[in-house]
Protein backbone atom coordinates (compact mmCIF):
# COMPACT_ATOMS: atom_id res chain seq x y z
CA UNK A 1 0.00 0.00 0.00
CA UNK A 2 1.00 3.55 -0.69
CA UNK A 3 1.35 6.11 2.11
CA UNK A 4 0.18 8.85 -0.26
CA UNK A 5 -2.96 10.62 0.93
CA UNK A 6 -5.76 9.93 -1.49
CA UNK A 7 -7.33 12.89 -3.24
CA UNK A 8 -10.60 13.34 -1.38
CA UNK A 9 -12.53 16.58 -1.42
CA UNK A 10 -11.70 18.30 1.88
CA UNK A 11 -15.32 18.20 3.03
CA UNK A 12 -15.27 14.39 2.83
CA UNK A 13 -12.44 14.36 5.40
CA UNK A 14 -14.15 16.59 8.00
CA UNK A 15 -16.06 14.81 10.78
CA UNK A 16 -19.79 15.01 9.90
CA UNK A 17 -20.63 16.61 13.28
CA UNK A 18 -18.03 19.32 12.67
CA UNK A 19 -18.85 19.94 9.00
CA UNK A 20 -22.18 21.70 9.59
CA UNK A 21 -20.53 23.99 12.11
CA UNK A 22 -17.62 24.67 9.73
CA UNK A 23 -20.11 25.59 6.99
CA UNK A 24 -21.82 28.03 9.39
CA UNK A 25 -18.41 29.48 10.27
CA UNK A 26 -17.45 29.82 6.59
CA UNK A 27 -20.65 31.79 5.96
CA UNK A 28 -19.84 34.14 8.84
CA UNK A 29 -16.25 34.60 7.63
CA UNK A 30 -17.47 35.32 4.07
CA UNK A 31 -19.86 37.93 5.44
CA UNK A 32 -17.05 39.58 7.44
CA UNK A 33 -14.58 39.54 4.54
CA UNK A 34 -17.14 40.86 2.04
CA UNK A 35 -17.28 44.10 4.06
CA UNK A 36 -13.57 44.70 3.36
CA UNK A 37 -11.82 45.97 0.22
CA UNK A 38 -10.32 43.14 -1.87
CA UNK A 39 -6.69 44.06 -0.98
CA UNK A 40 -7.50 44.00 2.76
CA UNK A 41 -9.07 40.53 2.54
CA UNK A 42 -5.61 39.09 1.86
CA UNK A 43 -4.37 40.40 5.23
CA UNK A 44 -6.50 37.91 7.20
CA UNK A 45 -5.81 34.29 8.02
CA UNK A 46 -8.62 31.95 9.18
CA UNK A 47 -7.55 29.35 11.75
CA UNK A 48 -9.90 26.43 12.41
CA UNK A 49 -9.67 23.46 14.76
CA UNK A 50 -11.88 20.45 14.02
CA UNK A 51 -11.75 16.68 13.54
CA UNK A 52 -10.31 15.51 10.25
CA UNK A 53 -9.94 12.02 8.81
CA UNK A 54 -6.31 10.90 8.84
CA UNK A 55 -4.91 8.52 6.18
CA UNK A 56 -5.16 5.63 8.69
CA UNK A 57 -8.95 6.08 8.84
CA UNK A 58 -9.01 7.66 12.34
CA UNK A 59 -10.46 11.10 13.06
CA UNK A 60 -7.87 13.35 14.66
CA UNK A 61 -8.05 16.96 15.75
CA UNK A 62 -6.46 19.18 13.10
CA UNK A 63 -5.54 22.83 12.75
CA UNK A 64 -6.55 24.22 9.37
CA UNK A 65 -5.11 27.60 8.40
CA UNK A 66 -6.45 29.37 5.34
CA UNK A 67 -5.28 32.66 3.87
CA UNK A 68 -6.42 34.51 0.78
CA UNK A 69 -3.34 35.31 -1.31
CA UNK A 70 -5.20 37.12 -4.06
CA UNK A 71 -8.82 38.23 -4.45
CA UNK A 72 -10.38 39.49 -7.68
CA UNK A 73 -13.98 40.23 -8.61
CA UNK A 74 -14.65 36.69 -9.79
CA UNK A 75 -11.96 34.50 -8.28
CA UNK A 76 -9.50 34.02 -5.44
CA UNK A 77 -6.28 32.18 -4.66
CA UNK A 78 -6.18 30.58 -1.20
CA UNK A 79 -3.28 28.97 0.66
CA UNK A 80 -4.42 26.22 3.01
CA UNK A 81 -2.34 24.31 5.56
CA UNK A 82 -3.75 21.41 7.57
CA UNK A 83 -1.74 19.76 10.33
CA UNK A 84 -2.41 17.48 13.28
CA UNK A 85 -3.19 19.58 16.37
CA UNK A 86 -0.97 19.15 19.43
CA UNK A 87 -4.09 18.93 21.63
CA UNK A 88 -6.12 15.78 21.01
CA UNK A 89 -9.37 14.73 22.70
CA UNK A 90 -12.80 13.33 21.92
CA UNK A 91 -14.96 16.18 23.21
CA UNK A 92 -12.97 19.22 22.14
CA UNK A 93 -15.11 21.86 20.41
CA UNK A 94 -14.73 23.21 16.90
CA UNK A 95 -12.82 26.47 17.28
CA UNK A 96 -12.12 29.27 14.85
CA UNK A 97 -10.65 32.73 14.81
CA UNK A 98 -9.22 35.09 12.27
CA UNK A 99 -5.88 36.80 12.59
CA UNK A 100 -4.83 40.02 10.87
CA UNK A 101 -1.42 39.06 9.50
CA UNK A 102 -0.04 42.62 9.68
CA UNK A 103 -1.30 43.85 13.07
CA UNK A 104 -1.63 40.46 14.79
CA UNK A 105 -5.18 41.42 15.84
CA UNK A 106 -7.39 38.42 16.57
CA UNK A 107 -10.93 38.62 15.21
CA UNK A 108 -13.25 36.24 17.08
CA UNK A 109 -15.80 34.47 14.91
CA UNK A 110 -19.10 33.82 16.62
CA UNK A 111 -20.23 30.19 16.36
CA UNK A 112 -22.86 30.49 19.03
CA UNK A 113 -25.83 28.21 18.80
CA UNK A 114 -29.21 29.83 19.33
CA UNK A 115 -29.54 28.20 22.72
CA UNK A 116 -27.61 29.26 25.78
CA UNK A 117 -25.93 26.23 27.39
CA UNK A 118 -27.58 25.14 30.61
CA UNK A 119 -25.21 24.93 33.54
CA UNK A 120 -26.27 23.24 36.76
CA UNK A 121 -26.31 25.38 39.93
CA UNK A 122 -23.13 23.58 41.07
CA UNK A 123 -21.41 24.27 37.72
CA UNK A 124 -22.33 27.96 38.01
CA UNK A 125 -20.94 28.00 41.55
CA UNK A 126 -17.67 26.44 40.37
CA UNK A 127 -17.48 28.78 37.38
CA UNK A 128 -17.87 31.80 39.69
CA UNK A 129 -15.12 30.51 41.98
CA UNK A 130 -12.88 29.85 38.97
CA UNK A 131 -13.58 33.39 37.73
CA UNK A 132 -12.15 34.62 41.06
CA UNK A 133 -8.95 32.74 40.26
CA UNK A 134 -9.44 29.75 42.57
CA UNK A 135 -7.71 26.50 41.60
CA UNK A 136 -9.46 23.13 41.50
CA UNK A 137 -7.88 22.28 44.84
CA UNK A 138 -9.14 25.52 46.43
CA UNK A 139 -12.62 25.03 44.95
CA UNK A 140 -12.70 21.44 46.25
CA UNK A 141 -11.76 22.57 49.77
CA UNK A 142 -14.24 25.45 49.76
CA UNK A 143 -17.16 23.28 48.55
CA UNK A 144 -16.19 20.14 50.52
CA UNK A 145 -15.89 18.02 47.36
CA UNK A 146 -12.98 15.96 46.02
CA UNK A 147 -10.51 17.52 43.61
CA UNK A 148 -11.63 14.86 41.11
CA UNK A 149 -15.23 16.13 41.35
CA UNK A 150 -14.08 19.76 40.99
CA UNK A 151 -12.07 18.84 37.90
CA UNK A 152 -15.01 16.89 36.45
CA UNK A 153 -17.28 19.94 36.89
CA UNK A 154 -14.66 22.17 35.26
CA UNK A 155 -14.42 19.74 32.33
CA UNK A 156 -18.23 19.69 31.96
CA UNK A 157 -18.33 23.50 32.02
CA UNK A 158 -15.67 23.74 29.29
CA UNK A 159 -17.49 21.19 27.13
CA UNK A 160 -20.90 22.85 27.56
CA UNK A 161 -19.48 26.27 26.73
CA UNK A 162 -17.24 24.88 23.95
CA UNK A 163 -14.24 26.50 25.62
CA UNK A 164 -10.63 25.38 25.50
CA UNK A 165 -9.79 26.74 28.94
CA UNK A 166 -11.51 27.95 32.09
CA UNK A 167 -10.52 31.54 31.28
CA UNK A 168 -12.27 31.19 27.93
CA UNK A 169 -15.26 29.53 29.67
CA UNK A 170 -15.54 32.45 32.13
CA UNK A 171 -15.44 34.97 29.26
CA UNK A 172 -18.10 33.06 27.29
CA UNK A 173 -20.29 32.71 30.40
CA UNK A 174 -20.07 36.47 31.03
CA UNK A 175 -20.95 37.27 27.39
CA UNK A 176 -23.96 34.92 27.57
CA UNK A 177 -25.06 36.31 30.94
CA UNK A 178 -24.58 33.01 32.77
CA UNK A 179 -22.53 34.63 35.56
Residue 28 and residue 103 in one domain:
yes
Q: Pick the residue with more confidence: 18 or 7? A: 18
Residue 125 and residue 61 in one domain:
no
User: Mean pLDDT of all residues in the chain?
Assistant: 84
Intra-chain end-to-end CA distance of the chain, in Å: 55
Q: Write the pLDDT tens digit of every residue in 55-83.
A: 888 889 999 999 988 888 788 888 999 99
Residue ranges making up the domain that contains 60: 10-108
Sequence-distant (≥ 6) Cβ neighbours of residue 139 within 8 angstroms: 126, 129, 130, 145, 150
- The answer to whether residue 117 scores a pLDDT higher than 50 is yes
- Can you give the CATH number for the domain in which 90 is found? 3.30.450.20
* 35 in any annotated domain: yes
- Can you give the CATH number for the domain in which 168 is found? 1.10.10.10
Q: Write the pLDDT tens digit of every residue in 120-135.
A: 999 999 999 999 999 9
* 131 in any annotated domain: yes
Amino acid sequence: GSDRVQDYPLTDRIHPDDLALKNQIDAEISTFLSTLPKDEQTQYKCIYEYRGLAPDGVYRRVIHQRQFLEVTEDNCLILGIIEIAPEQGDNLPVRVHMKHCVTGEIVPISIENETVPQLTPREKEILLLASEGLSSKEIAQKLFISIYTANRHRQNIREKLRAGSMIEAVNIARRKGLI
